[in-house]
Structure 1
Amino acid sequence: MKPLILASGSPRRKELLQQVHLPFTIKVSNIEETFDPELTPEEIATSLAHQKAQSVFQENQDAIVIGSDTIVVLGDKVLGKPENEDEARATLRTLSGNTHHVISGVAILSQEKEVTFYEKTSVTFWELTDEDINFYIQSGEPMDKAGSYGIQEVGALFVKEIKGDYFSIVGLPLSRTVRELKSFQ
C-alpha cells in the first residue's frame, strides 16, 4: 500500500489509527474551516473532511490521505468548538437531557481513487446539573471539542445512550475507514 497520511492534528484520530496498527504519518491541514450554511450537516462534515484531505494531498500525491471532520448537531443547529467557558456552559446546558447527533465526515484521496462518506450517531445526555457542567468546564476538556464534550474522557459521564458508531463520536468512524482503505491497495 502507498504511504498513508492522516490530515489531522487530532490526538484522538491519531490514537484510533494507532489502535488498529496502521502505519501512517501526520500532516496537519491548515484550512480555514468554513462552510456554506445552506449545506446539510452531513454535507458540512464531508465537505470539511474533503477540504482537509485535499490540502494535504496536493503536496503528497504519492500517498493515500485521510481527512476527517466531526460536527455535533442539535435539531438543525451545528454546535462547534466553544470559544470560551461561557459558550461551553451554554452548549452543555442545551445538550442536557436531549438527544443530539454526531456526524463524522471522512475523505480518503489517492491519485487513483477518492472516497467520501459520513457516519451519523445519536447521543442522548442525562440531565446535567450546574455542578456537573461547572466541574467539567474546570477540567478544561470541553474547550477543543465540537459540542463542548469528549465521550472518551470525563464527558462519558454525561452520556445516557448512543445509537451508532462510538468511534465516530470520538472523531473517526474507524471500522468503516479501514474497510474503505482496503479498496485503495
Structure 2
Amino acid sequence: MSGERLILASKSAARRAMLEGAGVPFSVHVAEVDEDVVKAAHDPADAAGLALELARVKALAVSRHDPEAWVLGADQTLAFAGGLVSKAPSMTAARAQLAAMRGRSHQLHSAAALARNGQVVWSDVDTVTLRVRDFSDVFLDAYLTAEGEALLASVGSYRLEGMGAQLFEAVDGDYFTVLGMPLWPVLAELRRAGVLAT
C-alpha cells in the first residue's frame, strides 16, 4: 500500500470495525476533547453542525501531535423532538429515552473530518431518519436485559447491528451512517489523499 499513515481519532468500536471491514490500514489515537465545551458553544438546534464540529475538533486534536499522518475524526448526534439526545447515564435513563422515542422518528447525523498538519482538509456529514416501532413494555424490558450496560456507550441507547434492529420499522438512509460514520465519502477521501489505492 501507500506510505501514507491514517490515524483514527475515535474510541468507537463500530468505527474501527467499519474501517477494518473495508480493508483500511490505520492506528487508533483517541482524541482528548472536552465535548461538553464544544456543545456549550454550539447552537443545540443544529445537530448536524454539532456532529461536524466535534469530528473536526477530534481530528485537529490528534493531528497537532502527529502532523505528518492523516487523522480521521468522527462523531454522531441524535436529534429528536426538537432537541439533542445524549448517551444515557444509566439503564433507567436509557429505558425512559427509548420509551419516549417509541412510535416516532428521529435523525442521526454522522460526521467525519480528515486533518493533516494541524488543519482540517475535508469534512462531511450525512443524515439518516429512523422510525421506531410501537414496541411493548415487555419487549423493551427484554431488550434492555439482553443488551445490558453496553447500551450506555451508544447515543440513543441502541446498536442497529445488534438486537436494537428490532426497535425499528424503517430506516431511511445509509447503514454505515447509522453505525457512526459516513463510510463511502470517507473512503473516497482516503483514496484522494493517497491512503488507499485508486
1:56 to 56, 62, 67: 62
Whole-Å separation in 1 of the counterparts to 2:188 and 2:101: 32
Supply the AA of the counterpart residue of 1:120. T
State the shift of 1:75 in Å: 2.8
Supply the AA of the counterpart residue of 2:34. E
Asked if 1:5 is matched to 2:7, the reply is: yes
Question: Contact 1:89–1:137 (CA<8 Å) still a contact in 2?
Answer: yes
Asked if 1:182 is matched to 2:191, the reply is: yes
Q: Structure 1 unaligned runs (5+)?
A: none
Question: Contact 1:65–1:110 (CA<8 Å) still a contact in 2?
Answer: yes
Partner of 2:171: 162
Per the normalisation by structure 2, the TM-score is: 0.89
Whole-Å separation in 1 of the counterparts to 2:61 and 2:30: 9
Supply the AA of the counterpart residue of 1:96. R
Whole-Å separation in 2 of the counterparts to 1:132 and 1:37: 36
Point out 4+ residue stretches in structure 1 off by more than 4 angstroms: none
Question: Contact 2:77–2:109 (CA<8 Å) still a contact in 1?
Answer: yes
Partner of 1:129: 136
Whole-Å separation in 2 of the counterparts to 1:95 and 1:30: 31
2:80 to 74, 77, 81: 74
Question: Contact 1:113–1:184 (CA<8 Å) still a contact in 2?
Answer: no
* TM-align CA RMSD: 1.4
Question: Contact 1:71–1:147 (CA<8 Å) still a contact in 2?
Answer: no
**Partner secondary structure for residue 79 of structure 2:** strand
Question: Would the alpha carbon gap of residues 37 and 94 (structure 1) be closer, same or farther in structure 2, given more than 3 Å must change?
Answer: farther
Whole-Å separation in 1 of the counterparts to 2:171 and 2:120: 33
Question: Contact 1:6–1:24 (CA<8 Å) still a contact in 2?
Answer: yes
Partner of 1:38: 43
Whole-Å separation in 1 of the counterparts to 2:192 and 2:105: 35
Question: Contact 1:30–1:52 (CA<8 Å) still a contact in 2?
Answer: yes
Supply the AA of the counterpart residue of 1:105. A
Q: Structure 2 unaligned runs (5+)?
A: none
Whole-Å separation in 1 of the counterparts to 2:12 and 2:22: 16
Partner of 1:151: 160
Supply the AA of the counterpart residue of 1:97. G
Query: How many aligned residue pairs are there?
Result: 185
**Partner secondary structure for residue 35 of structure 2:** coil
Asked if 1:105 is matched to 2:102, the reply is: no
Supply the AA of the counterpart residue of 1:6. L
Percent identical: 26
